[in-house]
Structure 1
Amino acid sequence: MPSFTLPRAARITRITRTHKIAVAVLAAAGATSGLAMTAAPDTAQAASAHAPAAVKPVDAKGQPGKAADAKTGRAVTASVADHVKVADVAKQHGAQQAASRSTERTGVKDYPNNLDGWIRQSLDIMKAKGIPGSYEGLHRNIIRESAGNPNAVNNWDVNAVNGVPSKGLLQVIQPTFDSYHVSGTPKKLTDPIANITAAANYAADKYGSIDNVNSAY
């Protein structure tokens, strides 16, 4: 078969068509790649998808919505509302602890203003000062000496004759009270607490304890 050569124009046309087909294939491939890249989430989207969900505001009943600040009336987020609530609880707890510490430091008790209360308060002071004595010992001697009257005064015995009458619940004379007065109690002879503790202090020194006293002492 005789060979022949295509004219230059025909070769150019043929090559051009081949190139067009190749370009079309590349374009199609590029479109497919573009679609694939569009479908894949970018870094920002991936980070957003894995980021923790934002705290949603809730109302006063804990339902979804907006909680309002009690003072301003403005809506606040649940996290702010929770923070305020926790702060209030912490403040109340701190105040309670401070009050408890204050009570422990002062050691304040409620004692009735009667013979029972005077004896019990005196016993607490005696215990703190290391002065021996019991409720029974104090009560027994008080009833014998004054019948429970903190203002009782003996105007007839030898002490009265000497100008220093016995006074108070446990009938103590002024010099004895001054020598055995217990610090922290009033410096008044007829004060119930001061009189009891001074007498108990004197009895502990002379007889070992007020419990050992069964008559004039």
Structure 2
Amino acid sequence: MSTTGNHLRRKPTSLTRGLIAATTGGVALVLPLIGADFASAAPAQSVTAGKAAASTVAAVKETSAQKTAPTIYSVIAGDTLSKIAQAHSLSGGWQKLYEHNREIVGENPALVLPGMKLTIGAQAESKTSATATAATVTAAPAVQPATYTNNLDGWIKESLAVMAQHGIPGSYNGIHRNIMRESSGNPLAINNWDSNAAAGTPSKGLLQIIDPTFRAYHVPGTPMDSYHPVANITAACNYAADKYGSIDNVFGAY
């Protein structure tokens, strides 16, 4: 029997706005309700976080672009790969510079012509790395060593290759012009009538160099023979570089 007065309804409180009662097996469970106030806070935080992330990504991209920005160098008269690499403190020297710009320079690293646009910097490094990675996946045939014809054209080109290795300036046209004036392209030419000849040291070879000067400016890697075409050209260009800055600056007796 129920007792009168024990079942009066209680006034609802503010707590019922956030709670709901569920009955399970006679036991009342109080569960929280997710109100509109709670749901609206999350999107605001997500938008703020998204903007911050976007700003960070943009900053990283900008920094990355700055780091990979290359230097484009325009070759001028008298330049060599060795001289350019040294001026830009390029790790790996002229060989690395040639590797980066082989498509522009061509097969002979000594033939660097005025007006060529050479890439120096991180972008070239990345390109080289990508090429190297591809090469490890698909093995490319080995690069054959350069060969030169046994004539004036071949002697000049071989000399330029040796000069590039030693940082000696000079161009094909400058060398050819001076050879034609001094010996007409005859590697065995000798001058037996001038003051040098009278002193017992006649001028010899393609660029008419006397033996004492040849020995003083002989370049390692070439024969110790002043009549040898490549040795003669290379030593004479080494002498001209020391005295005149380059064989390209010689337009008469030197």
Deviations 1:121-172 (A, max 9, x none): 1011111110000000000000000000000000001000000000000000
- Taking structure 1 as the reference length, the TM-score comes to 0.52
> In 1, distance between residues paired with 2:252 and 2:172?
17
Alignment length (residue pairs): 118
**3-state SS, counterpart of residue 100 of structure 1:** coil
Deviations 1:171-212 (A, max 9, x none): 000000000000000000100000000000000000000000
Q: Does 1:100 align with 2:137?
A: no
Task: Give the ranges of 4+ consecutive aligned residues of structure 1 lying more than 3 Å apart after TM superposition.
Answer: none
Q: Aligned AA for 2:206?
A: L
Output aligned runs, 1:53-132, within 5 Å: 100=142, 103=144, 108-132=145-169
The structure whose Rg is larger is 1
Output aligned runs, 1:155-166, within 5 Å: 155-166=192-203
Structure 1: gaps spanning 5 or more residues = 1-96
Let me know the Cα RMSD of the aligned residues. Answer: 1.9
Q: Which has the higher contact order (CA 8 A, sep 6+)?
A: 2
Output aligned runs, 1:1-217, within 5 Å: 100=142, 103=144, 108-217=145-254
Q: Structure 1 or 2: larger helix share?
A: 1
> In 1, distance between residues paired with 2:165 and 2:211?
24
Deviations 1:84-108 (A, max 9, x none): xxxxxxxxxxxxx69827x4xxxx3
**3-state SS, counterpart of residue 178 of structure 2:** helix
> In 1, distance between residues paired with 2:204 and 2:245?
22
Structure 2: gaps spanning 5 or more residues = 1-138
Deviations 1:54-111 (A, max 9, x none): xxxxxxxxxxxxxxxxxxxxxxxxxxxxxxxxxxxxxxxxxxx69827x4xxxx3111
> In 2, distance between residues paired with 1:156 and 1:195?
20
> In 1, distance between residues paired with 2:245 and 2:152?
24
